Structure 1
Amino acid sequence: MARIDDAGRAVWSRMVVRCAAAATAAMIGIATIGQAEARPRRYGGYAPAYSAIVIDAKTGQTLHAEAADAHRFPASVTKVMTLYLLFEQIESGRFSLQSPLRVSAEAASQPPSKVGVRPGSTITVEEAIRALVTKSANDVAVVVAENISGSEEAFGQLMTRKARAIGMSRTTFRNASGLPDAEQVTTARDLATLGRAIQDHFPRYWRYFQTYSFAYRGVNHRNHNRLLGRVDGVDGIKTGYTRASGFNLLTSARRGDRQIVAVVMGGRTGGARDARMRQLVDVNFPRAYAGARTAPMIARASEPARPQTRIAVAAQVPVPGRR
């Protein structure tokens, strides 16, 4: 056997130390990777894309923004635009709060969340408003769409045109409810614009967004917005959730002479979303302007032409007791 001299032993020792260090580093790296992969697993691997924005409603200034212009799925916050267009129809005189809206089989067949409207029946405009605000009823969203535009597809086109008209430049709507559609996208900034627009243009109907519950056919439906009455100053407006979108929330809040509109998109849970919104509201209120409003009103387009298809659609749906 060859003999190792002192110099050889020194070289050998250095090699052993280096190999040991490399092995240790590799083990640490593997452990680190394992930990990084393990963290999402605590949430079942669920990590929807996050966005947020806070706007000073009096100045239009952005107080906070995170990925505010990135495309996201709106989920049921979509229904704010559905309500915007319904309010527009009331203001134009086409509908009153007591006008009956006819229910088609297509509308009644929508998946939950829903209030269970029946094919061939009617629901009043005011009932529809409350059902959309509190229960976030998908069946009622389609009822509204069909009674305004004749079909949900046509209504989606109207929604998109209206979005462009009020400055929602990165939003496309395909349905009235927010049910999953890969082409129905928006941004946190666009939703904040919608929240400001519906307040600017329809202040007389803003009270509906403060509805805590709504009774329909003997069932009481609570508002999904858990910040109402729990966070100082919050006075609306709408939650949303699909698996693809995560938990979304468009919020308006007033404290004293300050007012903000805020959006959180992509919460992992409803509780996490609400906690983040509460934090954004509390942190940004002191930065909001307390003086007179300086921001212009959100631009408002001319009233859309009244569709001629509504009567035909209504005629296709029989009313019980009539022939």
Structure 2
Amino acid sequence: PLPLIQRFFAALALQVMLAGCATTPPDSVLAVPAPAQKYAAIVVDARTGKQLFEVSSTAQRYPASLTKMMTLYLLFEALDSGRVSKQTQIPVSDHAASQPPTKLRFRRGESIDVDSAIRAIVVKSANDVAVAVGEYLGGSEDQFAAMMTSRARQLGMTSTIFRNASGLPDGGQMTTARDMAVLGMALHRRFPQQFHYFSESDFMFRGRLVRGHNDMLGRVRGVDGIKTGYIRASGFNIVTSYNADGRNLIVVVMGADSARQRNDHVEALIQRSLSPTVDGAKTRLMFAEQ
């Protein structure tokens, strides 16, 4: 017999098919996209805070590069407070430059302006740039990670611990799908003037075009960000913002076996959540206004 979680998704696929939606994806898209020990998902109505869907959303997971959402949150705060401007030069230390790919491959003594740093983190998920930002704002990456965790608690991310600015493997760096949804909503609400960065799929740096990883951009009308992530221990993660036709959703999928599988699952969850057949009576208010 099928495990409980797979039976749940099979029933969900049947429910969507019966709704008669012409664009409903096949059953396989709604199948569990990963082993249960890695998979987690949540869909939240970002306007009301209602939870529309969840599986294992409070189970501990590795954030991978979703970590960089908090790195950017603190950088956006520094912009808002005037501590930095978009022209501020951030030095790249030996430690930052030594990070494994993905990165922009800086040499010792080089620097990057804040505007380019934001694009490098959003589009390229550059580990060297994320660490450089953390060192600049926190004095050291360890101190910055403590700042990240402190801000997470203040935002209501009750189960998240950050150990670095990039999301590179660290056994102590943990989060949940729910906490990542909280962070996605907080970025949207707190920094509407900066949120456009998350919709960018490429940018120019030093005369060359740098392309991004987020294939959900341009794939589904209304998707306007936010961030992907992958390490071997986590599987393929994503936080996606959908904003169209008066609806604003935050969709988190963690632990998929491939980027394509993850993206198919996100698209299916968006379609399900927009369907009028979804039973609103079963939702509950989870997220307070921030």
Q: TM-score when scaled to structure 2? A: 0.83
Equivalent residue number for residue 251 of structure 2: 262
1:110 to 75, 81, 99: 99
DSSP-derived class of the 2:275 partner: helix
Equivalent residue number for residue 124 of structure 1: 113
1:50 aligns with 2:39: yes
Contact 1:115 1:216 in 2 (8 A): no
Equivalent residue number for residue 19 of structure 2: none
Provide the rounded CA distance (Å) in 2 between the counterparts of 1:84 and 1:117. 23
Equivalent residue number for residue 175 of structure 1: 164
Provide the rounded CA distance (Å) in 2 between the counterparts of 1:297 and 1:224. 31
Contact 1:200 1:297 in 2 (8 A): no
Which residue identity is paired with 2:273? N
Provide the rounded CA distance (Å) in 1 between the counterparts of 2:272 and 2:122. 27
Contact 1:212 1:222 in 2 (8 A): yes
Equivalent residue number for residue 213 of structure 1: 202
1:246 aligns with 2:235: yes
Equivalent residue number for residue 185 of structure 1: 174
Provide the rounded CA distance (Å) in 1 between the counterparts of 2:253 and 2:50. 17
Contact 2:49 2:288 in 1 (8 A): no
Provide the rounded CA distance (Å) in 2 between the counterparts of 1:126 and 1:286. 38
Give the count of matched residue pairs.
250
Consecutive unaligned residues of structure 1, counting only runs of 5 or more, are 1-45, 300-323
Superposed counterparts of 1:138-157, under 5 Å: 138-157=127-146
Cα offsets for 1:162-196 (capped at 9, x unmatched): 00000000000000000000110000000000000
Contact 2:169 2:231 in 1 (8 A): yes
Provide the rounded CA distance (Å) in 1 between the counterparts of 2:264 and 2:170. 28
Residue 219 of structure 1, CA deviation: 3.2
Residue 202 of structure 1, CA deviation: 0.6
Residue 58 of structure 1, CA deviation: 1.2
Equivalent residue number for residue 3 of structure 2: none
Cα offsets for 1:44-82 (capped at 9, x unmatched): xx8461000000111101000000000000000100000
* Divergent runs of 4+, >4 A: 294-297
Provide the rounded CA distance (Å) in 2 between the counterparts of 1:232 and 1:274. 14
Provide the rounded CA distance (Å) in 2 between the counterparts of 1:132 and 1:98. 16
Q: TM-score when scaled to structure 1? A: 0.75
Equivalent residue number for residue 28 of structure 1: none
Identity value in percent = 50
Provide the rounded CA distance (Å) in 1 between the counterparts of 2:92 and 2:167. 19
Report which of the two structures shows the higher radius of gyration computed on alpha carbons.
1
Provide the rounded CA distance (Å) in 2 between the counterparts of 1:198 and 1:249. 15
Task: Specify whether residues 296 and 68 from structure 1 end up closer, same or farther in structure 2 by C-alpha distance, changes over 3 A only.
Answer: closer
1:283 aligns with 2:272: yes
Cα offsets for 1:106-155 (capped at 9, x unmatched): 10110000011222111000000000000000000001000001110000
Provide the rounded CA distance (Å) in 2 between the counterparts of 1:296 and 1:230. 28
Provide the rounded CA distance (Å) in 2 between the counterparts of 1:296 and 1:69. 13
1:87 aligns with 2:57: no
Equivalent residue number for residue 195 of structure 1: 184
1:59 aligns with 2:52: no
2:223 to 227, 234, 250: 234
Residue 295 of structure 1, CA deviation: 9.3
DSSP-derived class of the 1:146 partner: helix
Provide the rounded CA distance (Å) in 1 between the counterparts of 2:98 and 2:289. 36
1:204 aligns with 2:160: no
Residue 260 of structure 1, CA deviation: 0.5
Contact 1:57 1:295 in 2 (8 A): no
Provide the rounded CA distance (Å) in 2 between the counterparts of 1:193 and 1:115. 29
